[in-house]
Chains A and B, each alone.
Chain A
């Protein structure tokens, strides 16, 4: 399983773009990068997943460089409701994902 490293916490003002970078130096060839979001008193929720280059959905964008040793989750124009913990995980369909401590994002008005 890929070991991931991400910042413990980040602060942002409303309306700004937030980029959370995750390092995964030992990612395997067949591993995907997946990001989850967790609000207080709720279970984690899938946000986005990618293998390389860029993936975009209605919630976020995920940038993965060619060497795949890192990835960046981009949240456009955050609002107070984006305050949550964001987890970066690496893995494939053959093994379960392992959650780390995540990044606690605080959005300030």
Chain B
């Protein structure tokens, strides 16, 4: 299994531009999570999906952020317009939870975003 795949790995953009981050979860996993990590705030959960349906988006910082999961093998996180304070590493993770009590999340390599 290739694991969780994210693209791009690095993104540099200018303030005001639209940014789209992509994620391919591990096949068969029911849950998909988007996180943001910064030195100041640590690892924050932005949104998560169960069977392609958004369950909790309370962590999305503001309306400039949106996430979609059109099918079980693909999700996007979009920032429009981007701002310098959005600079962070964005992780996608997937999990096979839903069939038991234990939960293990498998993380992708992350997308390092820099907004100038």
Binding site for B on A (CB under 8 A): 30, 32, 34, 41-46, 49, 87, 91-93, 96-102
Contact = CB atoms under 8 A, between A and B. Distances in A.
A93 B105 contact: no
A102 B39 CA distance: 12
B93 A43 contact: yes
Contacts of B56: 96
A46 B106 contact: yes
Interface residues of B, number: 27
B109 A32 contact: no
B107 A45 contact: yes
Across the A-B interface, give the 9 residue pairs with the lowest CB-CB distance, nearest first. Answer: A43-B107, A99-B43, A93-B97, A101-B42, A46-B104, A93-B101, A43-B91, A93-B103, A96-B48
B15 interface: no
Interface of B: 4, 31, 33, 35, 42-45, 48, 56, 91, 93, 97-110, 112
B34 to A, nearest CB: 11
Q: Majority SS of interface residues in chain A?
A: loop
